[in-house]
């Protein structure tokens, strides 16, 4: 049978989702915890790969097992074998056709920037701290140029293994709340480092170092070297993955519900 689960984690001390030899990954950590409860070796598959230092409010994953457990037994048992920086939020028995990655319709990421004169001790693992004030209007104007189906070669990492740079960016939202700026991106899928590279371009525009039209030039140029620096990973969180309604995947509990 196939089990789906929703996973929340602080990515600071992980090398990312993907299992790597002799490194602490989310995938390997979760697989080991599930294997204890299942009483056999389990390999878990996720909806996508988050990079080192990137967080998740709801990463969705699945695994196969013949072990019979109640959903609550899976939930409590797995969490009892996980450290404080990673926790399963829900467990569901799903149809065998469900695949955490291939069944996904879209993904939503949030990037947080803190703009103030001094650094934060509480938010340094969740935000990119900038002393400069950013122009949200200019950044929003630039971001609209990227909506729709586009070749995002200018925003992909050099080592990105995707077979195509084409992605459909469905929603971009930029909101300011006191000293925090929230960037929301929803797309059918994302290239490696795509969100961080987009935010890097937007910050250059937001500081006035480049005009809003530069965002369209970067996209059409399809050259990563023209895009500037990537935003650091700690500000990025995978917020939600969308699936067809028939799978009844629960909504995440948004830890940042106070933001617009």
Enumerate the domain spans of the chain: 2-103, 106-238
Cα distance between residue 101 and residue 230, in whole Å: 25
Answer whether residue 259 shows pLDDT above 70.
no
7-32 residue pLDDT tens? 999 999 999 999 998 899 999 999 99
Q: What is the pLDDT of residues 59-102, one digit of tens each?
A: 999 999 999 999 999 999 999 999 999 999 999 999 999 999 99
Q: What pLDDT band is residue 258 in, cutting at 50, 70 and 90?
A: very low
Structure tokens, 109: 């990421």
Residues belonging to the active site? 51
Q: What is the pTM of this model?
A: 0.94
Helix or strand run (H / E) with residue 207: none
CA pair distance 107, 197, nearest whole angstrom: 17
pLDDT tens readout for residues 93-120: 999 999 999 999 999 999 999 999 999 9
Domain 2-103 -> CATH class: alpha beta
Integer CA distances (angstroms), 235 to 54, 227, 251, in order: 7, 19, 22
Q: Do domains 2-103 and 106-238 have the same CATH topology?
A: yes
106-238 carries CATH number 3.20.20.100: no
């Amino acid at each position: 049978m196939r089990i789906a689960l929703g996973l929340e984690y602080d990515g600071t001390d992980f090398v990312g989702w993907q299992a790597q030899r002799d490194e602490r990954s989310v995938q390997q950590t979760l697989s080991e915890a599930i294997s204890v409860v299942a009483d056999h070796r389990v390999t878990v598959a996720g909806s996508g790969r988050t990079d080192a230092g990137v967080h998740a409010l709801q990463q969705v994953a699945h695994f196969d097992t013949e072990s019979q457990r109640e959903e609550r037994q899976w939930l409590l048992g797995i969490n009892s074998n996980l450290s404080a920086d990673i926790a399963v939020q829900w467990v569901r028995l799903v149809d065998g056709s469900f695949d955490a990655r291939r069944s996904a319709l879209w993904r939503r990421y949030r990037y947080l920037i803190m703009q103030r004169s001094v650094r934060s001790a509480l938010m340094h693992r969740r935000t990119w701290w900038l002393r400069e004030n950013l122009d949200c209007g200019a950044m929003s104007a630039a971001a609209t140029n990227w909506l729709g189906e586009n070749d995002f070669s200018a925003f992909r990492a050099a080592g990105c293994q995707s077979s195509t740079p084409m992605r459909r960016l469905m929603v971009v939202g930029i909101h300011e709340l006191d000293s925090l700026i929230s960037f929301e991106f929803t797309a059918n899928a994302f290239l490696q480092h795509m969100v961080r590279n987009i935010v890097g371009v937007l910050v250059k525009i937001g500081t006035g170092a480049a005009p809003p039209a530069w965002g369209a030039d970067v996209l059409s140029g399809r050259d990563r070297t023209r895009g500037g620096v990537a935003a650091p990973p700690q500000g990025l969180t995978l917020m939600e993955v969308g699936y067809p309604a028939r799978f009844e995947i629960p909504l995440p509990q948004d830890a940042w519900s106070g933001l617009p």
